[in-house]
Structure formats: structure tokens, C-alpha cells
Structure 1
Amino acid sequence: MRMDSSTEPAPRPRVTARLRALRFDAGSLALNLVATLGRRTSAPIERLGTLDRLREWCDGVGLRLHDEAVTDELLTELWTLREAAYDVVAAVVHGRSPSGVSVALVNDRARLAPPQPLLVATGTGVGVDGADRPLSGRELQSVVVRDLIAVLGDPERRGALRMCDASLCTMVYLDHTPGGRRRWCSMRLCGNSAKAAKHRERRAAAAPARS
């Protein structure tokens, strides 16, 4: 006997390679980390699930890790930091207070100062020493957290925080368009999908009812 339609589980959206791809278009380093978990409010898509993906993400944001820092322990710490960062930025977007646990974790990860490049005298002038030194796991997290604090501490950037209107996405990004009227994390991705869905709805509404 066929199950009543009200008890049938909703079909899971198809997860494509495009949806699994890392995102580097959120507008800041910290927000790019937050974006490594897609569709977090519906059917979460883990984009930072392996050490190879961690290396790929670091390459994408222009950071270098010590080889020995690329560990499962660091991956777990980044997942924890990612959720705390998401809680904080989502609180700003929605006008609520973030969890005290999230704030404490973010502040704790900010305490270790990231490496600072220094000028050095050379035979022909000056050079920069340490600019490309690989980071430890905690130094990487400190760089990410300090970026998050810089975003939230800048009234213009803080005011530009947005959450994608697509109900399956809800990615947080910085909107620097004139008037701040951008609705989607990406017009090519969620924007086009939303337009296509509306077009299908209009066609369905205009179609003659079946007898």
C-alpha cells in the first residue's frame, strides 16, 4: 500500500560537484572559512572534510601551513572555530546576541599573535623577512579570527554583512554593491536558481487546471 504523501520523506536536493566546491567569494578570510560548510540550515554540505581540502583552502586564501600542522586535530579545531564565527556573524545579521561560548572561543583563538613581517637591511636597500613563513595551526586560526574581528570592528564592513536569500544556502557574505541591495551570495549560483524557480512557478500558475 502506498504511504500517505504527508508521511513520505522530502527528497534530498542533489549534491553536485559545484555545491561541494570551496567558496572564496564571501568577501573576507573569516567568511570564506564560514562558507566551507554549505547549506548549514537544511542539508549541510561539508567542503572542508579532508586534509587535502584543508590544503586547497589555504592555497585559495593565500595562507601557508607548516606541513606538520596539517592534521586531523587542526581540521577539528577549524570546524569548531567555523561554527563559532558563524554564530557571531549570523547574530550580527539578525540583530541578536551571539552565544557567550562562541565569543569566548573566538577571543581565545585571537590571543596568539600571528607572525609579523620585519624589514631587513640589504646591500641594495631593504627587504622583508618572514612574510612567507608557513603558519602553525594556531597561527592560522589567529589570522582568521583577527580578520573576523576587523570586519566586525569596521562599521562599514559590519553593516555590509548579508545572508543569502536562498533558503537552502544562507551563506554569509559582504555586500559592497551600491545601496547594499544584493540578495544572493552569487547571481550565477543562487540568483539564477531562484530566478529559474520563480519562472517555473509562474508557468505552473498559468497552466490550465487538469480536470
Structure 2
Amino acid sequence: MVEGAQDGRRTRVTAQLRELRFDAGSLSLNLIATVGRRPVTPVERMGDIDRLRAWCDGVGLAVHPGEDLAGLLAALHELRACAYDVTVGYLHRQAPREESVRLLNQLAQVHPPAPQLQADAYGLTAAASSPGLSTPALLSLIARDLITLLSDPIRRQRLRECDSQICRMLYLDAEQGRPRKWCSMQRCGNSTKAARHRRHREKAADLPVP
């Protein structure tokens, strides 16, 4: 399957490329990661209701049974665009659009349900405070997550953009250890190294024999 890009280039869209990512390091960054290969050849990973349900399950958010899922999906797409604009703007030292900041602040004004604990035979676990989240509450959780991240001078220094030119996923680096260049060594790290090795080998093959 092939998807076109705005600059005329085309990229092969594989099943792995369409997989949802839950390893960006925060709730809001996981939402941003539902579009792959930004900004040149964007690939939609959450384009329908089934993918919306899979994403909510993956990030541990239960949606209220009565919610309009099509409306929620559209609202998440809008929030995602604003979240990406603000976050990538911070990384590139560029001012985000005013409407992006305004929407994030507006969504964050809704108070989501307070977290609850429940005790069972296995210890303490988090418990849902209601049958599920309403659309405003879910959007608020994501907006607050990003605002908290970007307003924390220590955490926001850990924001990274994958070094792979065909990935560019935004992620939160680990607190300790060496800084990561790629969103995932298994995905982009290995493929980037393999491509670099292949280019070196091809250049060596083109050299004249003495």
C-alpha cells in the first residue's frame, strides 16, 4: 500500500508503520504519535472508530458508553494537531499558532474525574471513578498532560525528535542513561544503521580498482 506526500514523493505504508505507538513517554505524546512520519509523508494511525478504541485501550482510558465516538475522534484529531504544533515549536524554537495554545488552555479548563484507589487481595490499584470518561474530560486529561510537560523546565528538556529523517517521532527521553537518538533502537535505530552501512558499502563498490 502506498500513500502520497505533499511534495510528490511516495512512501510504502506497511502494517508496522500503521501500528499505534504507546512508547512516546506521556499520554499527550502518545496521541501525537498517532500520526507517523511527520512532517513530509504523514501516515494516519487513528483514522476510524476501531483504531480510536484500540488507542484508548492502549493508553488506559475508558470512554463513557454513551459518547459520540465519531465526534470524539474528530476532537482528538484537532487536539492532536494543536499538540504537535506546540511541541514541535518548542523543540525548534518556533512560536506555535495562537489557536493551538488557545485550544489547549480551553480544553484543560474542564476538571477530569479525580483519581481513585481500590484495595484488593493483590494490593492497591487505580480504579475508575465512573463508567468511563466523557469527551470533555478525556480531552482535558490529554491537554493537561501536555501543559504539565511543557511547563516543567526539567521534563521538557527530555523532549526529543527521532533522528531518523523518515520518522521524526516526538518522545520523552529517559531520566537516566545516555540520551537516545531514536524513538526506538529496534525500529529506527537498527534501520538507520543498516541504511548507513548499505550506503557505505555501495560507495566502496563504486570506487575504481587500483
Same fold (TM over 0.5): yes
Structure-1 residue corresponding to 2:189:
191
Matched, 1:19 2:12: no
Give per-residue Cα distances to partners, 1:136-159, cap 9 Å, x unaligned.
111110011111111112212110
Give per-residue Cα distances to partners, 1:49-106, cap 9 Å, x unaligned.
0111111101100110012224211111110100100011101111121111100011
- Cα distance in 1 between the residues matched to 2:95 and 2:87: 10
* Count of aligned residue pairs for this structure pair: 196
Distance change in 2, residues 1:180/1:133 (3 Å): farther
5 Å matches for 1:2-151? 12-117=10-115, 131=129, 133-151=131-149
Structure-2 residue corresponding to 1:125:
none
Distance change in 2, residues 1:132/1:188 (3 Å): farther
- Cα distance in 2 between the residues matched to 1:10 and 1:203: 29
Check the 8 A contact 1:51/1:70 in 2, yes or no.
Answer: no
Distance change in 2, residues 1:175/1:14 (3 Å): same
Identity percentage of aligned residues: 51
- Cα distance in 1 between the residues matched to 2:189 and 2:127: 44
Distance change in 2, residues 1:47/1:176 (3 Å): same
Distance change in 2, residues 1:117/1:161 (3 Å): closer
Distance change in 2, residues 1:82/1:10 (3 Å): closer
What are the ranges of 5 or more consecutive residues in structure 2 without an aligned counterpart? Answer: 1-6, 119-125
Q: Comparing both structures, which one devotes a greater share of its residues to helix?
A: 1
Check the 8 A contact 2:86/2:100 in 1, yes or no.
Answer: yes
Check the 8 A contact 1:161/1:174 in 2, yes or no.
Answer: yes
- Cα distance in 2 between the residues matched to 1:192 and 1:118: 41
Instruction: Give the deviation of 1:170 after TM superposition.
Output: 0.9
Structure-2 residue corresponding to 1:4:
none
Check the 8 A contact 2:115/2:128 in 1, yes or no.
Answer: yes
**Counterpart of 2:11 in structure 1: which amino acid?**
P
Structure number, greater radius of gyration: 1
- Cα distance in 1 between the residues matched to 2:43 and 2:199: 27
Instruction: Give the deviation of 1:13 after TM superposition.
Output: 2.3
Distance change in 2, residues 1:118/1:57 (3 Å): closer
Distance change in 2, residues 1:197/1:10 (3 Å): farther
